[in-house]
Structure 1
Amino acid sequence: MTYPPPPTSYEARVKADTNAPVRRAITARSVVAIADITRNNINQVRKLNEVLLPVPYSPAVYEQVLEEDTNPICKLGLFNDIPVGNVCCRLEEGKDATMWKVYIMTLGVLPTYRCLGVASALLEYVLDVAGPSKNFAGRKIESVYLHVQISNPVARMLYEKFGFELVDTLESYYPSITPSSAWVLSKHT
């Protein structure tokens, strides 16, 4: 299977009409599930990210996804058993030795499968397992945060629906894509 090259920028997205009869019928008879990322399917994650995201990720990122501490918060999103999205997170030092921050490196769903609950299921999973005030990997989670390209207001709205707040706008965060600015969204304890 040949995948198109990754995008170099995002155009403003138009939210799908979730009340369209066809979308309602698809949603009514669909199954959204979360699956573990393993050595056997890590290349599916890599291919999804190449198609979904405007920035490439190094092989080291995918090795980090498989590490014992981070793997439980990195998942594939399945729609009727088809991998259509993923979330990959990493742990970062918090304000002291007893705290972690969770950084959402990637969260994406193939365009055809958006607005069917896959991204919400992935984000809910991360927040349920390693959200603010949770204990994860031997430490308390103080926050979950991420960057969103400013040309992607639909993603920003998704995160805000889950209680994330805009904490900063970084100019020239993405040096090789346009627009290069990013919103920093965070959910705190």
Structure 2
Amino acid sequence: MNYKISPLSYENIDGVFSVELTSFENPWSKQAFIDEINNPLARYFVLENENEVIGYAGLWHIIDEGHITNIAVKPAFRGQGLSKLLMNELVDYYKSNSLVFLTLEVRESNLVARRLYESYGFKIIGERKKYYQNNETAVLYSLEG
């Protein structure tokens, strides 16, 4: 495997959108990703294997805080630890930019993602009842210091 991580760009946006469509019940639109390219607060990292987009992750950098917006890996590539490559990029960005904390929300039922976040030291700080379209609770996490 020949993995490469690069910033989100117009050249890889179709691949990112493909990952999005196969990863989420209520996916973002392609236009939403175009908007993120043009958003000065957004930082997105795209994971490729042999020039095929197989995953991506993003965050918003707001003053001295970070908020993870999405992280996804194509279903055929899951279970290989690739989400850790993307999380490493997000956490490295958090540390290298001296952010005070990094937050995210995740579906209460997404135990695989929750274990991943907890393995990086994220702590539960709350929840949002009926946050998702199917009324599922969002669990809020934060990484500090």
TM-score by length of 2: 0.87
Q: Which sits farther off after the overlay, 46-55 or 105-114?
A: 46-55
Aligned equivalents of 2:88, 2:58: Cα separation in 1: 13
Correspondence for 2:49 among 67, 79, 86: 79
Q: Which residue of 28, 31, 46 maps to 1:57?
A: 28
Q: Structure 2: which 5+ runs fail to align?
A: none
* Aligned equivalent of 2:115: 157
Aligned to 1:37: 8
Q: Distance in 1 between matches of 2:22 and 2:85?
A: 20
1:24-47 Cα distance to aligned partner (Å, 9 max, x none): xxxxxx233212211122122122
**2:104 corresponding residue in structure 1:** 146
Matched, 1:113 2:77: yes
The answer as to whether partners of 1:64 and 1:70 remain within 8 angstroms in 2 is no
Match of 2:138 in 1: 182
Separation (CA, whole Å) in 2 of partners of 1:34 and 1:50: 20
Please state how far the C-alpha of 1:68 moved relative to its aligned partner.
Answer: 6.5
Gaps of 5+ in 1: 1-29, 93-98
SS at match of 2:116: helix
Instruction: Indicate the structure whose relative CO is greater, using CA pairs within 8 Å and at least 6 residues apart.
Output: 1
Structure having the larger proportion of residues in strand = 2
Q: How far, CA to CA, are the matches of 1:125 and 1:145 in structure 2?
A: 15
Q: What letter matches 2:7 in structure 1?
A: D
TM-score norm. by structure 1 comes to 0.68
